[in-house]
A and B are shown apart, each in its own frame.
Chain A
Amino acid sequence: MSKNTVSNRFRTVDVDEYDENKFVDEEDGGENQLGPDEAEVDSLIRQGNLMEALQAVLKNPPINTKNQNVKDCAEGLVLKVLSAFKSSDVEKGVQSLDKNGVDLLMKYIYKGFETPSDNSSAVLLQWHEKALSAGGVGCIVRVLTARKTV
């Protein structure tokens, strides 16, 4: 008889861990992603240059960081910029973004829905509609299937 039948430690081994095809999330280093620059964005908002503010706030998205604070900060900033836009300018704002920008915007919009404050949902719904017409259904699917959220 083989030696294995004596001990039964093999019963407690988690076989799934050793499966070659096991899906592991890629964890690349995100330590240097600090999120959009707060000072820059604030100054742009105060100047009234909302298009630039939008571009600036969508730079450096904190996608890979494990630091929740950075993500929350970024989310707050984006919400500020989005609320600062007038309703008629929303469409122009969306047009000024490229495809990746629209995807990123959509991710922030859905993130913003999770913590509704006074008027944020109405603003976000407006932006959602315009972003949808620009990005199409694929944009939403990309948000749903993204493994790394903003």
Chain B
Amino acid sequence: VKRGRGIWRSVWEIFPLSSSNFAFSSLSPSDSDSAPVPQRRACHAAGRSLSGELLLSGGGAPQQARGGGPVSPCVSVCVRDSVCFRVFDHVNAIPFRSSKELLLQPVIISRNDKEKVLIEGSINSVRVSIAVKQADEIEKILCHKFMRFMMMRAENFFILRRKPVEGYDISFLITNFHTEQMYKHKLVDFVIHFMEEIDKEISEMKLSVNARARIVAEEFLKNF
């Protein structure tokens, strides 16, 4: 399955142990894994200086200059800060909301009114919800199906929630158990990477759908 491949590869990177205990061991981890990671880190470091130009140039253009630049350092710092938690209780504080003192302020970071990221933290977990940009009907359908595909396999994904939070398209719930088993910085990197990739994936899928539709229509109309 070609779609979403970039995302699955980075999911593998989170696990420090061998791929045997990982559900998607069918993906070969050997092909240039080291390349994406340093690239992303350099991007984050350079993101600070990049973001200035990106903002100045990309303010108006809706399609091309969808710079993940300015938003990513912003989101990554937030997620990194809220990912420092400890074992407190078996009950996740966020969905249950039993005690006020265990919850942090929810924080939203938005690029415009359609795309935003909601980060709700607590003493033992953090919930990151992403609203993906959907410009037209077909992007809406593609996004919806793609998210559903992943959320149905949420058990294997570990940090994904089966249902997104109201008003958003997909939600991650990262708990203290997850941070004990997985590298924290990798988790953060994964979420950022996910955000950046999702736009690209959806555009790619849209292009391929259009291309296929064109070919099918051509073939069909050749009969006439």
Contact = CB atoms under 8 A, between A and B. Distances in A.
Interface of A: 23, 25, 87, 110, 113-114, 116-117, 119, 121-122, 125-126, 128-129, 132-133, 137, 140-141, 143-146, 149
Contacts of A125: 51, 55, 70-71, 74, 111
Contact of B110 (A121, A133, A146): A121
B114 to A, nearest CB: 9
B92 to A, nearest CB: 17
9 contacts: A110-B107, A116-B110, A116-B113, A121-B111, A126-B70, A132-B77, A137-B77, A137-B81, A144-B78
B107 A144 contact: yes
Contacts of B107: 110, 113, 143-144
B66 interface: no
A119 B56 CA distance: 12
A114 B110 CA distance: 7
Contacts of A145: 104-105
Contacts of A119: 59
Contact of A121 (B81, B104, B105, B112): B112
B59 A122 contact: yes
B195 to A, nearest CB: 14
Interface residues of chain B: helix, strand, loop or mixed (majority): helix
Contact of B113 (A110, A117, A144): A117
Q: How large is the interface on B (under 10, 10 to 19, 20 to 34, 35 or more residues)?
A: 20 to 34
Interface in B64-94: 70-71, 73-74, 77-78, 80-82
Contacts of B59: 119, 122
Given A140-B77, A140-B78, A126 B55 contact: yes
B109 interface: yes
A110 B118 CA distance: 11
Nearest to B120: A144
Nearest to B70: A125
A128 to B, nearest CB: 6
A128 B75 CA distance: 11
Q: Which 5 A-B residue pairings sit nearest by Cβ, starting from the closest?
A: A23-B101, A125-B70, A116-B110, A144-B104, A116-B113
Given A87-B56, A125-B71, 8 more contacts: A23-B100, A23-B101, A113-B116, A114-B108, A125-B51, A144-B107, A144-B121, A146-B105
A113 B110 contact: yes
A110 B121 CA distance: 15
Contacts of A114: 108, 110
